[in-house]
Structure 1
Amino acid sequence: MILNKGLKEFMAEISSMGRLQHKNLVQMRGWCRKGNELMLVYDYMPNGSLNRWIFDKPKKLIDWEGRRRILADVAEGLNYLHHGWDQVVVHRDIKSSNVLLDSDMRGRLGDFGLAKLYMHGEVPNTTRVVGTFGYLAPEVATLASPTAASDVYSFGIVVLEVACGRRPLQTAVEREEEEVLIDWVRQKYIEGRLLEAADERIKGQYEMEEMEAVLKLGLACCHPDPLRRPTMREVVAILIGDNVSVAPKDLLSGLTPAT
């Protein structure tokens, strides 16, 4: 059977991504095809996805130190995709359910089914919106132009999920309407009450300066202007330190909340 051009290109990209090697990526072992169905084969992650440990396992919550470590793990994996390989890999579907936890509860970024490869310096060109609502950067939702910066936005949403213990979209009980996490946290920041956004279930496990810095980092990653978001290199530099509160002041002070 002669495969159509789109399928050929997809399979070529998947084959290329099979060469990605990093301790914070779920290793893709191969793929198989049956009819029109393509299935990707990854290493098994025994502790499942991060979102389950934040939202679905109230008796087995990950503590703050574990959460911060997982965020740093994912940041390093994403930094490799953006800056550490011979091509830029734009993941396009970063979300907490695509962060898998290994036997040591270390975070690994998985599910490359929507990823696209670009040469460094190349301007992505696509007309198809893909990803998950609540994690999509504004420019992707309107212009269908995924870039490394739009991945950074999605990572910022994950940062806020982990720090706040809230889903990207959830119903506000008192108003019976859907509340958007990024808008809720940004409003707390504008009002000078940012620490009120922290997950109450882990209160007392963190230094206030550290939590505030992580929340600001999440907001910076979700800046409406993609040119003002940090790169994943900058994010890694913040999260892998012994104390995240010593984050580069120029990055955090550059955060301009939306009004």
Structure 2
Amino acid sequence: MLLDEYLTPRISDFGLAKLLMRDHTRTLTTIRGTKGYIAPEWFRSKPITVKVDVYSYGVMLLEIISCRKSVHSQSENEEEAILSDWAYDCYRGHRLDKLVKNDDEAKKDMGMLERVVMVAIWCIQEDPSLRPSMGMVILMLQGVVEVPVPPCPFPFIAQPSETTHP
């Protein structure tokens, strides 16, 4: 897990990419990873790329922002049980304050909070080709590159719209 029982971040290795040979950009393998951080392509027998690590990083960002685990089965509110779904709903509904309800420090810089949430949403896109590279993630987090408005990360509930790749 990336957060312990006290919601303290723990160092984790998003190092799946190092399993790829230099001349390979894609590989097929068996599912590996921690519940809640596993990219959707693992379950769809699709090629596994470095973008699975980007997905996991996005989930971790959401956990750090909200100070909660990615799957909260004991949530009183069913809509908050899956962090990625709830975070996108909060973003779409302009209610990011709900993600950080007990964090007054985060509420002081809502612009930064929105940027980090937007980056996380780009990272958790179901379509790996929409996820940014980790280099681009860093630039967006630093504010060097503008973060485009992310599309719904779950296409089965997405509204038809034009999207811009980061």
Residue number in structure 2 paired with 1:126: 28
Q: Deviations over 1:196-253 (max 9, x none)?
A: 212x3322354110011111111111112111111111111233x3xxxx3523x432
Q: TM-score, normalised by structure 2?
A: 0.76
Conserved 8 A contact 2:79-2:86: no
Question: Is 1:51 the equivalent of 2:14?
Answer: no
Q: Deviations over 1:99-130 (max 9, x none)?
A: 1xxxxxxxxx548699513215x232223111
Which of residues 130, 135, 157 in structure 1 aligns to 2:37? 135
Residues 195 and 110 of structure 1: is their aligned pair in 2 closer, same or farther, counting only changes over 3 Å?
A: same
Larger Rg: 1
Shift of 1:141: 2.0
The whole-number CA distance in structure 1 between the counterparts of 2:16 and 2:51 is 19
The whole-number CA distance in structure 1 between the counterparts of 2:47 and 2:34 is 14
Q: TM-score, normalised by structure 1?
A: 0.51
Matches within 5 A, 1:17-36: none
What is the aligned residue count? 153
Conserved 8 A contact 2:42-2:48: yes
Question: Is 1:256 the equivalent of 2:151?
Answer: yes
Question: Is 1:204 the equivalent of 2:105?
Answer: yes
Residues 176 and 229 of structure 1: is their aligned pair in 2 closer, same or farther, counting only changes over 3 Å?
A: closer
Gaps in structure 1 of 5+ consecutive residues: 1-48, 62-95, 100-108
Letter in 2 for 1:157: V
Matches within 5 A, 1:116-195: 116-119=19-22, 122-143=24-45, 145-175=47-77, 179-195=81-97
The whole-number CA distance in structure 2 between the counterparts of 1:165 and 1:222 is 18
Letter in 1 for 2:88: R
Shift of 1:161: 0.3
Q: What is the percentage of aligned positions where both structures have the same residue? A: 26
Residues 166 and 160 of structure 1: is their aligned pair in 2 closer, same or farther, counting only changes over 3 Å?
A: same
